[in-house]
Amino acid sequence: MTGTDSTGAGTDLRRDVLTTLLPGFEGLDAPDWVLELLRDGLGGVCIFGPNIESPEQLRALNASLRAANPLAVIAIDEEGGDVTRLFYDRGAPFPGNAVLGRIDDVELTARVARAVGEALAATGCTVTFAPDVDVNANPDNPVIGIRSFGADPELVARHSAAWTTALQQTGVAASAKHFPGHGDTATDSHLALPVVDVPLATLRERELVPFRAAIAAGSRTIMTSHILIPELDPENPATLSPQILNSLLRGELGFDGVIVTDALDMKGASGVHGIPEAAVRALAAGCDLLCIGTDNSAEEMAEIVAAVENAIATGRLPEARVRESAARVRALAEDSVPVPAGPALPASIEPRHDTEEIGRVIGSFEVTDAARERLARSTRVGTVVRVDAVANIAVGVAPWGPFAAEDVSESPSWLGGAETVAVSAHRGLVDPAALQGTVLVVGKDLHRHEFARAAIDALRAVRDDVVTIDMGWPSNDRAYADVSTFGASRLLGEAVIEFVDDVLRAAVATS
C-alpha cells in the first residue's frame, strides 16, 4: 500500500501513517533520513539531551525541522526538574514538581511552568512531555518519585492544573503523564512491565484525580504508561489497551486531544512484541502519536511503516483509525508557535533566582534536629561522600544537585573546599573512620540502594559527624535521610549549598 494509485490514496495513507510517528535521532543536526521523512509527512521528532548543545543550536535545529515540514511536532521531555533536556548539560534551574508540591503555592507552580514554556518556545519546541501528574503513592518508586507533585491526589491535581494552564499560555502544548498513573509502581517500565494491582475504586480516587484536573485545564495531549492494570485489562499495558484508552480516557474522562505513547523502545511496551508490532497495537488501541525512541534509524522507521500498512491491508487495523490519529496530530501542530527568527534569545532561557526564592526552596526541606546539631559542631565540611547510583533512563546523566551547582558557580563554597569521595555499587568506602569530618553523604533515594545503605551504616558505626542529604524521594521512616530535599535539580543543588553555608556561618558566629 506504499505505491500511488490513480487517486493517490496509497500515498495519502502512507502520509497519514507517517504523521502518527515521532522518532528520535542521534546528533546535533537532523539526519537526511529525518528531513526526507518530514517532507513525506512525518509527524515530528522528539528532542533529547544529546541533541542539544546550546539554545541557539537547538533553535537552528528546530528551524530546519519545521522547514522540512511546517506541521512537524517538535516534542521534548522537559519537566523543569530532575528530568530535563534543555538543560541536560548543566541541570535545570527549576525546583521540580515535588518541591513545588511541598511549597504548595499554585502561583509559584504557574510561574515555573510559564518559565519552562517561554524557554521552550524561544527554541522552537512545540510540545513538552510534562507535567508528570502521577501520584507518588510508593516511596520505593524507581522511576517517578520527585517527578511527582506528591502523594496526595488533590494536591497533585491542583498543581497539575496550574502547571498545564500556565505552560500552554506560552503556546507550548502540555502532555499530562503517565496515564492512568505510574505512581504506585516498584518497577521501571524502561526495563520491564510494572503491574499496578489496585481496585478500580482506588484508581478513581487516587490515580485519575490529577488526570481529570489536567484534562479540565485543557491539556492538549496525554501520555500513556507502559503499565499493566489487571482490574482494567489483565493482558495489555495501558499503551496497548483499548479498554484503558477508549473506555476510560476517551469515554469516562472525556479526553478528546492527542494520546501520545511513552517511548515504544521501552521494555514495558515492546519487550514482548518488538517495536513495529507495538506500534500497530498502540494505534489499534487508540493512540494517536507514537514516540518511538531516542536514536532511531531510517531502516527502523521503514519497518514500522510497513508493519502498520500491512495491518491495515489485512484488516487488523482500521484505516479510519489511522486517519483519525493523523488528523488529531495535524490539528495539534497547526496551533504550534513558529520557530523564532534571528540569533537573539530571551534571558528567560536561564532564569535567575533571588535570595527569597532560594529561601522558599530551603524552607521545603525536611531537616532533622540531629542534622542541624552535627553541622553546627563544626565550621567546615571535611568530606563529601557522593553516592552515584545508576540513574533511571528518564533522568539520564544530567548533572545533579550541588555538584551541578558547583560546576557553574562563580564563587567557591564548602563543596569546593571539601574532599569528595564517590561510592557506587562497584566502589565502597575503604576506611570510613579516616575521612576528614564533618562528613556529608549526598545521594538520591538512598534507602533504595543496598550499597548506599551499607556505606551510611559503616560511617555511622564509627563516627558521630555524619549527615545524610537525600535528594530523591526518601523512605517513609527517613532512616537514611537526615536532610530530605525532594529533588536534585541544579536549583536544588544551589539551595543545598546555601543551606549548609547558613548553618556553618551560624556556627562560626556563635563559636
Residues serving a catalytic function are: 190, 262
Which runs of consecutive H residues, i.e. helices, occur in 171-272? 200-202, 208-216, 242, 267-270
Beta strand pairing call for 73-76 and 127-128? parallel
Q: How many residues does the chain have?
A: 511
What does the block give as the cell for 276? 513495529
Question: What distance separates the 2 farthest-apart alpha carbons in the chain?
Answer: 90
CA–CA distance, 156 with 148 (Å, rounded to integer)? 8
The DSSP output letter for 265 is T
> 3-class DSSP state for residue 175?
strand
The DSSP output letter for 366 is E
Q: Which residues are CB-contacts of 394 (< 8 A; sequence separation ≥ 6)?
A: 77, 83, 143, 147, 190
Cell 484508552 belongs to 245
* Structural element, H or E, at residue 363: helix 355-363
What does the block give as the cell for 126? 512545540
The DSSP result for 145-174, as a single string, is GGGSS-S-HHHHHHHHHHHHHHHHTTTPBP
Residue closest to 443 by CA, chosen among 475, 476, 409? 475
Q: What angle do CA 135, 113, 329 make, to 5 degrees?
A: 80
Cell 502521577 belongs to 134
* Structural element, H or E, at residue 300: helix 298-313
Q: Which residues are CB-contacts of 284 (< 8 A; sequence separation ≥ 6)?
A: 242, 311, 316, 317, 318, 321
> 3-class DSSP state for residue 222?
strand
Burial status of residue 145 (CB atoms within 10 A of its CB: 0-12, 13-18, 19 or more): buried
Residue closest to 491 by CA, chosen among 413, 414, 404, 386? 404
